Structure formats: C-alpha cells, structure tokens
Amino acid sequence: MWGRHTKAQWALLVLLCLQGYTCEQDAAGTAAQTEEAAERDGQPARPKRSTAPAVAPAPDGTAQHQDLLALLHLADVYDQAGLFADFGTAARPKYTIGNWNSGWLGESREGEARVSTFGKTARLYLPAAKKKAMQLRLRAKPYASGALIVYVNGKTAGEARVAQGDGFRELLIPIPVAQLRAGENSIMLRATKSAQVRGKARSMAIDWLRFEPKGAEAPAAPGRVELSQVPVAGVERRAIVLAPGAQVDWFVEAPDDGSLVFGSGPASGENGSLSLLVSTDRSEGSARRMELGPAWSDQAVSLSSHAGAIVRLRFRNEGTSDLGLSDVRIVRRAGEPVAMQEPARNVIVLLIDTLRSSKVRAYYPKTRVKTPVLDEFAAKGTLFERSQSPENWTKPSVASVLTSLHPATHRTKQDASKLPKSALMLSEVYKKAGFKTASFIANGYVSNAFGFDQGWDHYTNYIREARNTNASNVFGEAQSWIEKHKEGRFFVYIQTIDPHVPYDPPAKFLKMYDAQPYSGQVQNRRTHLMLDEAKKNPKKYAFTKRDKERIEALHDGEISYHDEYFGKFLVKLRELGLEENTIVVVTSDHGEEFQEHGSWGHGHSVYQELLGVPLMFRWPGVVRAGERIAPVVSTMDIGPTVLEATGVAIPDVFEGRSLLGFMRGDWPAGPYVAFSDFLDHRRVIRGGDWKMIIRGNLTQVMFDLGNDYWEKRELDGTQHPIAQRYLRTLHGQFLGAKDRGRWLAASSGSTAKKGPGLAEEKQDMTPELCRQLVALGYISAECDALLKN
C-alpha cells in the first residue's frame, strides 16, 4: 500500500487510515521499489537490505491497550498436530482453573523439564473447534506404579498403565467422538496410585500435553512457542517464531477505536505466508492472507467494527518455513488527559450499605426509587457503569475496599474472621502521610472486634457503641468532625446502613412507594428476622403479593430517606469551601435480593443484584462531569484511585489499580475484568457484559448481561465459545497467580491450593457481639447456637 504515490494520493491514504481502514506498511516493498527505480534510471542498485524499524509502528494518535506478546502465556498455541499446552509454565493455569479445587499442586522441575504435578485427581478444560474423534497425548513422569484413567465430559475415555521408575514417557489416550463436544471439554485425570514426593502425595508430573485429532502424528519436537529476539533481514525484533502449520489464538475484548498492530517476516528462507482471522461468537470472519517478502512487514488492522465484543485473533503460518511474528499488540485512540494541576486535598469515601446499582436511576433508568441527590452527583461526576463488589456481604467486601486486597488474600471471609493486623488499611497509609483520619461506621461487622479499627484518629462504630445509626445522625457527626479539621488534610470513611434490614423508613418516605393501608404480617422492625427465616425456610412465611410489595417499599423508602441526608451533607461541604478540593467517592458493599432468584437479602448468591454496586467519583475540575466509564472495575480499586488523586504513593501490597486514568482520559492498559468470591463456594469473573460463575464442584455457568440483565438465562458456553475461552483463560490465570496484584504477568507463576494470602485471624464470638449482629439480620449458625445456650 505504501509505494510511490503523488502528494494527493499520500493524503488520501493517510485519511483512509485515520478513518479506521486497514493500513499496511511494508518496508521491504518500499525498499524494493526504490531499487527498481534506481535501476530504471541507469544507476547501480545498492545491495538489498531491510529498512524496517526495530518495532512495528502503531498509527499516530494511539496508545497501547494490550501487549499481547507479554501475554503469550494466555494464548492458545497449536503446533502442526493440535493444541499444545506447555505445563510447568505460566501457560498451564488457563486450562486448569489455576489451582482452585482442580487438584494441581503447582510447578516444579524434574531434571531439565519444567512440570506441573497433581495428587490423585486433576482437572483441565480444553477447547475443540469441532465435534470429532480426538486423542490426548501427554509427556509424563509417574511417581507410582498403577494406571492413569482419563474421563472426558464425565465419561471414561481410556487409561494407560504407568510404572514408577519409567521416567518421562508419552502416553496416548484416544477419545471417542461421542464423548466430545465442540467448544470446551472437561477432562479429569485420575491416578490409581500416588507417592510422597517433596512432602505431598503426588501421582504424576506433566511436562506437556497435546489435544489433537485422532491419528495425528506428533511433530519431532514439542510445539513450544517462546518470546525472543528474532532477526529478519538483519533487523532483530521482540517476536515469536511459528513453525509451518503452527497457530496462535489470543482472546481479547476489543476497545473502542482499537487496532491490532503486528509485524511478520520469514525467520528462515526468503518469503513466507501468514493468515489472520478475527472472529467473534456472532461472526467467524474471513481469513486475511499475507504473502511476505524477505523483510519485516508491519500492519495495523482496525478492530473498530468489533468494539466492546470479545474477539479471537488467530495467526497461522501458512507457509513452509519458520515465520517471525513481532510486536503483537492492541492499540486504541489516545485521549486528551485532563490536567491535574495539584492533588486533591481531602478524601471522603461514602459506602452506602446494601445499595445495589439497579436501585439508582443513573444505573437503571427504569427504577422507581427516587434519589435526586445521587442523580445529581452522577451528573456532576464520573460513573463506572460496570462496577463489581468483590463479595456478596459486608465484612469481606469492605475489607477489600479498605485494604485493596482480594478476599482470598485478606481472608476475612467468615462470620468469625478478623481482618489480620498484617493487613495495611487505607487509613494507615493516609495517617502515615500526615492526613487526619476518621471513620463513621454503622455496621457491626466493620468494627474493632473484627480488626477494622487500624489507622484512625477518630473511630466510631454506631452498632458496637449502641448509638443511633440513622443517616441523619451519621452524616451529622461526620460533618461536625470535618468542620473541626477542615484546615488540614483529611481522609474520612462513612458507612451508612439505612437500606439494610431492619427496614423502617420514616412514613414520608414509605408513602413514596406504598401509600395504601397495610395490615399484613410484615413488621418494619422485624424484617431482619422475618427475611432470615424466609430464606432458611420459605414455607414458614408464605408472603403474599401484598407482603412482598410492602417489604420492597420499605427498602426503597430507606434509600430515599438516606438520599435526602446525603444531600444535606454535600451542601455542608460546599458551605465549608471543601467541594473543589475534595474527591468524594460513593459506592456500596453489596446489593439486596427481593426474590429475583428465589431468595431474600444478601450473602447467599453471586447474582448481580448482590454484586452489581454503584461506583461514582466527584472532583470538580479533574473528574469529568457526566462521564460514564464502560469497562468493568472493582470497588477494591477505590484505595489506589484516591491515593493517586491525593499524591500519596500506592503501597506495593495493594492489589487493586487506580481508576484515575479512566476519569482523566488516560486509560490504563487492559484487560478490564473483575473478580468476586462467595466464601469458598463460588468464584466469579466479569469481563464486559459476560459473566462466568464457577462453583466449588467446578461446574460453571455463564450469563450475557448485555442481553439478560436479570440473569434469567443460564448459558453453558457452547453457544459462546470465544467469550467462554476469554473468561476461562483470565480466570485461570488469576486463580493460579502467586501475586494477585500482578496476576496477569507470566512471572506470577502459580501456587498451591490455598494461594497467597495473609495469616488468617479469628474473633471469639461473644453473646453481646452476636446480639448486635443479629439486630442487623446477621444470624450465623455460631451465633444462633451461642444465643440459644
């Protein structure tokens, strides 16, 4: 495309490229045309050499979104025979759900081989393009004599006899076509014997495995693809080498105004042939074939038509010699960042307990709930449309907000769990930086009894102190403290609890949603007890349609009541002259269910009525007014965000990331996903509008939230294999990461079953503490037994 052109032609080509058309830059072609012109002019041609740059260039005005070569371990690699999985490396966790309940014991070395080991059983999940007979070939070293039995999609496929002392050998298990399906296949390896190796019962070490068509012949060497400096025509680049017939699939969420940039060239020989296929679950796409000359050929392929979709980028060597693939990355149109002249002076984080995003009009326009103050706050600030809570109940969720750690790291997940003293709270970071710190907390789980009193100059827990928890009182005390400390810098955390059971709004607010006379069984101050019993024993309370209307009206009235006093609090900040220099955050710890999925309250499921929470920021002059940010984020990102906004260094131990770049127009690199837990029973990933839930028994279900807002249609992934592969890959990488703060990195490696985390601490549950928690509707088995005695 970039040959000899007139100035007008050049201008037209540049315009087409800027408008998103596919642009190719072929340095070798330009050099060859120059030499041909010299020959025609009677001049001696210079020796042919590459004029390719050291890095494949991206279009002007773009910023890097994802470096796919750095994420090579997340790609599916195929050699001439089939899917090749290099175990013992960072490429393994994406096939095994990390190590979560899947039987894998991490990575080690056996001689020169990097291996992954397992005990008696291990699970993995392998994709197949079509339903056809396959075979599983693996290079393994048994630690004990016996048999390896392979199950595919729940049925026995075959077995191989192994003997201790065999060393590494290749095992081949044919899989009948009847047991396979197009898309993801669940495979279980079960060894009949194991032995004690390095302090654990292990049955086998796996070097690599290949999922290949039945009868396929194995290549002479394993199909490993590794990153290195690859020379083509004298120019070295950071690249991978694809053997003839080899293929690499990356799965990404295409950004707005995104392009795929890469270079390719023959790593041996004078030419080559490369195909690129960009596919989504809705469209297979058409392969683009590129015939390559003797030098690097650089290209930028627009992904704009796929913006927001999960795409598979498939590169395949169609030639007969090795091919270099360099600088593979996704770029997007660069924004114009809002200048931050000076850091925010103060921080206020408001966490409204039990407020799901669908109760806020800025998130769900169909809601009946009236929240004019929150609506105005959203209009004057920036709203994250797909914000997720890390857990479905208060203690672990708030621990993640205040420590920027995943629940699996802080381990404050059970009723008696206590936030470890080793956890670094946001309050401690700010106190060390010279800020005055204050908390006003109306939930008994976020208390000194459970380790949340670290780093505060002023600490109040209204439940533990048996004080008024109404928004009028909590906001009133918070604003009084702020007024006294407005001359210095401060960090204030406010956790109100009005939307939480027991629901008992003032009559004025209840009438907004239920003005009719009511004589049913629902009692305002007993809603916590009634709903807990209804959750445990649905037959005990046969709620009528009118009862259900009353329950939700009470909850909605509490939200509107709270909104009025939040408005008065914001007015006071303005009167104190603090509006312009204070970053204010509004969020929640979890939502509330009203039988959308057959239950009440929270703490029992991982549907969006519990995990989907609001997240809004306001900081005039820096945070853009009315901005809506689409990518998925987590509330555990609040800490890094406000620290960056105030110019305070983000601790290395924090696992969240700052969202300030989104709000200033300088977006951070992708991918954009969020993870949530439910104790040790569920693991959740959300990417875009796709959500995957993995249960403790490793069954999984997906939802398309863009077309199924209320999660009524369960998907098994077979209808959407590309979205499924994207979520499965990223989730496996996260669940196998040693460092959850840098979970994407190949160097993160993988860990044993429990993964990295702080030392777990427990709080002795006393009758007094239990009574306080029961008053909030938290009726655990431990407290129930304690109070009965």
- The alpha carbon dihedral of 169, 175, 180, 186 has a sign of negative
Rounded CA-CA distance 499/142 in Å is 57
Res 758 pLDDT > 50: yes
Res 747 pLDDT > 90: no
Give the pair of three-digit tokens for residue 61: 């005005």
Give the pair of three-digit tokens for residue 524: 């305002």
pLDDT band (50, 70, 90) for residue 11: very low
Rounded CA-CA distance 21/304 in Å is 9
Q: Are 602 and 591 in contact (CB under 8 A)?
A: yes
Task: Express as a percent the part of the chain with pLDDT over 70.
Answer: 91
Task: Express as a percent the part of the chain with pLDDT over 90.
Answer: 83
Instruction: Give pLDDT, residue 770.
Output: 81
Rounded CA-CA distance 191/118 in Å is 9
Residue 95 identity (one-letter amino acid): Y
Instruction: Give pLDDT, residue 221.
Output: 86
Rounded CA-CA distance 495/442 in Å is 6
The mean per-residue pLDDT over the stretch 339-356 comes to 96
pLDDT band (50, 70, 90) for residue 781: low
Q: Is the peptide bond before 372 cis (omega within 30 degrees of 0)?
A: no
pLDDT tens digits for range 89-138: 999 999 999 999 999 999 999 999 999 999 999 999 999 999 999 999 99
The mean per-residue pLDDT over the stretch 147-155 comes to 97
Res 779 pLDDT > 70: no
Instruction: Give pLDDT, residue 766.
Output: 84
- The alpha carbon dihedral of 574, 580, 583, 586 has a sign of positive
Residues 6 or more apart whose CB falls under 8 angstroms from that of 36 comprise none
Q: Are 71 and 729 in contact (CB under 8 A)?
A: no
Phi, psi torsion values for 172, nearest 5 degrees: -130, 120
Q: Are 431 and 468 in contact (CB under 8 A)?
A: no
DSSP 441-458: E--TTSSGGGT--TT-SE
Res 170 pLDDT > 80: yes
Res 263 pLDDT > 80: yes
pLDDT band (50, 70, 90) for residue 777: low
Rounded CA-CA distance 630/620 in Å is 21
Instruction: Give pLDDT, residue 538.
Output: 82
Res 697 pLDDT > 80: yes
Rounded CA-CA distance 372/564 in Å is 8
Beta-strand pair 382-388/627-634: parallel
CA proximity to 315, closest of 284, 297, 288, 292: 288
Rounded CA-CA distance 769/445 in Å is 9
Rounded CA-CA distance 395/412 in Å is 7
Rounded CA-CA distance 718/743 in Å is 27
Residue 535's H or E segment, with its range, is helix 527-536
Residue 483's H or E segment, with its range, is helix 471-484
Instruction: Of 210-224, 702-716, 736-750, give the range with the top mean pLDDT.
Output: 702-716
Phi, psi torsion values for 770, nearest 5 degrees: -65, -40
The mean per-residue pLDDT over the stretch 739-759 comes to 73
Phi, psi torsion values for 511, nearest 5 degrees: -65, -20
Query: What's the whole-number average pLDDT of the chain?
Result: 91
Measured CA distances, 274 to 229, 316, 330 (Å): 19, 6, 18
Give the 3-state secondary structure of residue 379. helix
Instruction: Give pLDDT, residue 789.
Output: 66
Residue 316's H or E segment, with its range, is strand 310-317
pLDDT tens digits for range 629-659: 999 999 999 999 999 999 999 999 999 999 9
pLDDT tens digits for range 520-559: 999 999 999 999 999 888 878 889 999 999 999 999 999 9
Rounded CA-CA distance 469/475 in Å is 10
Give the pair of three-digit tokens for residue 448: 């000194």
Instruction: Give pLDDT, residue 751.
Output: 46
Instruction: For the beta carbon of residue 656, count every other beta carbon within 10 angstroms.
Output: 25
The mean per-residue pLDDT over the stretch 219-237 comes to 93
pLDDT tens digits for range 13-65: 333 343 333 444 443 333 333 334 333 333 333 334 567 899 999 999 999 99
The mean per-residue pLDDT over the stretch 579-593 comes to 98
Residue carrying structure tokens 């392969």: 287
Instruction: Give pLDDT, residue 20.
Output: 37
pLDDT tens digits for range 73-99: 999 999 999 999 999 999 999 999 999
Res 788 pLDDT > 80: no
Instruction: Give pLDDT, residue 557.
Output: 98
Rounded CA-CA distance 115/109 in Å is 6
Q: Which residue(s) pair with 317 in the sheet?
A: 274
Q: Which pTM value belongs to this model?
A: 0.91
pLDDT band (50, 70, 90) for residue 768: confident
Residues 6 or more apart whose CB falls under 8 angstroms from that of 439 comprise 427, 452, 456, 458, 459, 460, 492, 493, 494, 495
Instruction: Give pLDDT, residue 220.
Output: 84
Instruction: Give pLDDT, residue 689.
Output: 97
Q: Return the percent helix, strand and coil in the chain, to nearest 5.
A: 25, 30, 45
Rounded CA-CA distance 660/622 in Å is 9
Instruction: Give pLDDT, residue 39.
Output: 36
pLDDT band (50, 70, 90) for residue 364: very high
